[in-house]
Structure 1
Amino acid sequence: MKLLRLGAPGHERPSVLADDGRTYDLTGLTDDIDGAFLAAGGIDRVRTALRAGTLPVLDPTGLRIGAPVARPGKVVCIGLNYRDHAEETGAPVPERPVVFMKDPGTVVGPHDTVLVPRGSEKTDWEVELAVVIGRRARYLESPADAVGVIAGFAISNDVSERAFQLELSPQWDLGKSCETFNPFGPWLVTADEVPDPQALGMRLSVNGVPRQNGTTKNMVFSVAYLVQYLSRFMVLEPGDVINTGTPAGVALGLPDTPYLRAGDTVELEIDGLGSQRQTFEDA
């Protein structure tokens, strides 16, 4: 099952793309797809309504696709979680997860315009598998316990300004939290449709040129381990998003590869999770 939100920013309509290929309107079940919806068993209620045939069909033609989860409470990111990415940037493969936070206000739709910040010299791309939390999680005992709190998965483009990130502060936040820096979606694919999140191919191109071509099997720390690990240090709430890292192929690790500028187009996809396309403009 694929949950999505359709419409203009701030006026998105909760929807579901069903196995029959049709899109159904969820406004009779919920005001939005958010943490409250997930915490209250919203995914099961949608399944029940689909089986009952009570949801009205929605024509998505011409409608903007928003981020599939409204107002994430937090966006937690994992750095250097692919060996090839750590190697290309000259960083050691971490012994434990590298954790940083990203402003939830960076989250935009999968095809929305991304703004190159004023003063930017090194705006970069990062295709990432995003995990969406479905149940409150604290002090999980094991990675196996973590599986049960995951609502589903989506694509994130963890856009980063490397000069801001690495040259202005020992913290990474300045280069990660610029406006529009987290295109997200197009769907929240429920966890039952992703039986092995460690077996997903992921690809990204810039202006039609392939840049990233990786697989989640090369993660240093698995999805389940990351959720369990994070729950030791923070309470994970329904609707929270975890960006789990990016494979090799970012501009930072590619000598003589230009960083992003206004007019550039980035396209990215992950197996089973759909695709994104953004055009970049100056802020």
Structure 2
Amino acid sequence: MGTSHRHTPGIAGEPNWGKASSALTNVAKTEEKSEQLTNNPPTNVSNKQIAKRQTNYSKSITKGYHHAVRNLVRAAGGRTKVSSGSSRALGRAGIYVASALASTIAAIAQKGLNNWLSEKGFGSSAGKTCIEILHFLREYLSCDVVGMDDTAANEALEYILDKFEDKIDEDASNFDEVMKTTMSTSEINEVIDEYMGMYVYSHLSQDFKEKLEHERGTTITTATLEEIKDLIMDDVHRGYNGHTSSTIDWTGKEGKDFIQHEFNRIIYIISGNED
């Protein structure tokens, strides 16, 4: 998939991109203070005071990551443009791969894995392992990597397929069952929401990791990005609205419209409920 390739952000130099960068630098500084407090608590401060400081650090980190996402989206043209897939900097590849993923899951659930694989030229599913089938899906659904948006879309896809790997038996005997359950329940909503959350995280990581490493070092950068990833996914899960999508035609305009609407909602949530 080429997800290790580095590309210059298409929106670097845009004022809001600079604000997003500054916000993440502040998040990293706060993360460092929090780790220092955990590893070397001052002896003249009570546990209650330490807990209060950590709470304040956590609030600052959450606020800072929301600020970074908000300004990254603004730099790419705003929430409406990004969530509609009209921005090449952020949104287009994510919408494309998410739509392809949802329609593929729907097709397998309807036709069965064996028929779907045969249609795509992969032959029968007989004798193929879960790993082999998911590898084919990766190749089938991934974008050609031309820029950072494609890389982010592919990394989010990798995250979702890894989660499916945990549910599917090694011999893929329950593959159809997992796909049918995903489509007949609210799980497909969760798949889309988690995909979009990881997609935005990948953009943040790609855009700012190198700068953060230069400023704060590898250890703090790694801890900061892991914290942000956890916060994004936590926000995504808490913001999940549970509305039904089992009757949606994922292969047509209805499916794409649903994904764009969900992406718009996810961006709003992980921007701190602000435009």
Q: TM-score, normalised by structure 2?
A: 0.25
- Structure with more of its chain in helix, by fraction: 2
Q: Which has the higher strand share?
A: 1
TM-score (norm 1): 0.24
Q: Rg: which structure is higher?
A: 2
